[in-house]
Amino acid sequence: MVDPVGTYSIFQGLWQHMVRIGVLGTARVVPYGLLGPAKETQGVEVRGIASRTPQKAEEFAARHGIQRGFGSYEALLECPDIDAVYIALPPALHYDWTRRAIEAGKHVLCEKPLAENAGLAQELTLFARRHGLVLVEAMHVRYLDRLCRQRELVAGGEFGRLLRVESCFRAPYIPMAKHDFRLRFELGGGAALDVGCYSVSCLRYMAGEEPEILSVRHKCSSPQIDRWMRAILQFPSGAEGVAEFGFRGFYLPRGGVVVTCEKGWIKWDGKGLVYEKNGNLGHEALPSASTYQLQLEAFAKSIRGEESNTLPHDDAVLTARVLDAVYAKAGLALRGTPEKL
């Protein structure tokens, strides 16, 4: 016989631990960056989505099985049935709406970059801490099995001292409309904030140190809008770093991290890692887990106060500082500041 009191207690416990998420924006990343992973993540539910127009929000909600569409971002933030917000807006809007979400008492998972520059990112990080809320930059690549295992091998010392790290994220050439936010300075456009943050975040993580920028080569698709960059960096330990990224270049697409150590090298391949150690070649196959789901699981655990592998609270700020320095070395204006023509 089923104990009704016990059954009620179980469901009450599940409800109390459910993280109810609302979404700001209907960007292309929302279905694969949040909605799909949420269906596979226990204790997470997407309750609503907001757009600047009610019709767009309602159509998106109906198409993706979301309970409710909100005709304004403000309306969603005022909803008491939402605990956390996923922000999928152009970079120039991240600071303002992350701050408003925190003021409304919501935890925030904000698409990369957290803000247009390091100063704004640091303000948000401190603001969230003062309010006792979880704020995470959605840097899903940091949950890649290949990256984490590569870092483990380097940190373990079996390959000897780290000499060089090259982190490259070159996206395929993608035609973009003139109004695309990635091509507009005032909306936080440019390759550095779009894919460069991946490259720099992986570079910092692999080295375990904060680098100095030595030189930068770059190409622009229009004034102040970088479409490709290659930065040479130096870490305090003496290791060299290379960060390359782009989204409108006439090159072969490439993504991954290559490390060179005293006793060999390690790089990614389609199924895991390939390496050479002491002159011997090797391969290590790794499982292919959803980085977006791992990211969401970590975010939800942090909200519940459980132990998680979510990124350090200042990680987004440190990545932004490197990107700021790259822009400065290239002679380009920081996003979020007056444009210099």
Q: Tell me, what CATH number does 43's domain have? A: 3.40.50.720
Domain of residue 9, residue span = 4-140
Q: Burial letters for 193-232: b for 16+ Cβ neighbours within 10 Å, e otherwise?
A: bbbbbbbbbbbbbbbebebebeebebebbeebbbbbbbbb
| Nearest-10 Cα torsion for 12, 17, 18, 21 | 140
pLDDT of the residue at 218: 97
Angle at 252 between CA 246 and CA 253, to 5 degrees: 55
pLDDT of the residue at 233: 98
Query: Is 340 part of a structural domain of the chain?
Result: no
Distances (CA, A) of 207 to 170, 210, 233: 21, 8, 11
pLDDT of the residue at 340: 55
Q: Is the pLDDT of residue 89 over 60?
A: yes
HEC secondary structure over 263-313: CEEEEEECCEEEEEECCEEEEEECCCCCHHHHHHHHHHHHHHCCCCCCCCC
For 13-28, how does the pLDDT look when each residue is reduced to its tens digit (9 = 90+)? 444 589 999 999 999 9
pLDDT of the residue at 339: 67
Query: Is 338 part of a structural domain of the chain?
Result: no
For 169-228, how does the pLDDT look when each residue is reduced to its tens digit (9 = 90+)? 999 887 788 889 999 999 999 999 999 999 999 999 999 999 999 999 999 999 999 999
Cβ neighbour number for residue 86 with a 10 Å cutoff: 26
Are 243 and 208 within one domain?
yes
Q: Is the pLDDT of residue 127 over 80?
A: yes
Are 219 and 319 within one domain?
yes
pLDDT of the residue at 17: 80
pLDDT of the residue at 252: 82
Least confident of 109-113, 120-124, 247-251, 273-277: 247-251
pLDDT of the residue at 8: 40
Instruction: Say what the pTM is.
Output: 0.92
Q: Is the pLDDT of residue 59 over 50?
A: yes
Please say whether the dihedral angle defined by the alpha carbons of residues 57, 58, 61 and 66, taken in this order, is positive or negative. Answer: positive
The residue annotated as part of the active site, out of 112, 263, 267, 329, is 112
Number of domains in the chain: 2
Averaged pLDDT, 22-47: 97
Number of helices followed by number of strands (H, E) in the chain: 12, 14
Q: Is the pLDDT of residue 284 over 50?
A: yes
Are 312 and 184 within one domain?
yes
- Domain boundary at 83, 115, 140, which? 140
pLDDT of the residue at 253: 86
- Letter for the amino acid at 112? K
Q: Which two tokens stand for residue 138?
A: 């959605």
Q: How far apart are CA 164 and CA 133, in angstroms?
A: 37
Catalytic (active site) residue 277 = no
Q: Is the pLDDT of residue 11 over 70?
A: no
Q: Which residue has the higher pLDDT, 340 or 295?
A: 295
Are 160 and 114 within one domain?
no
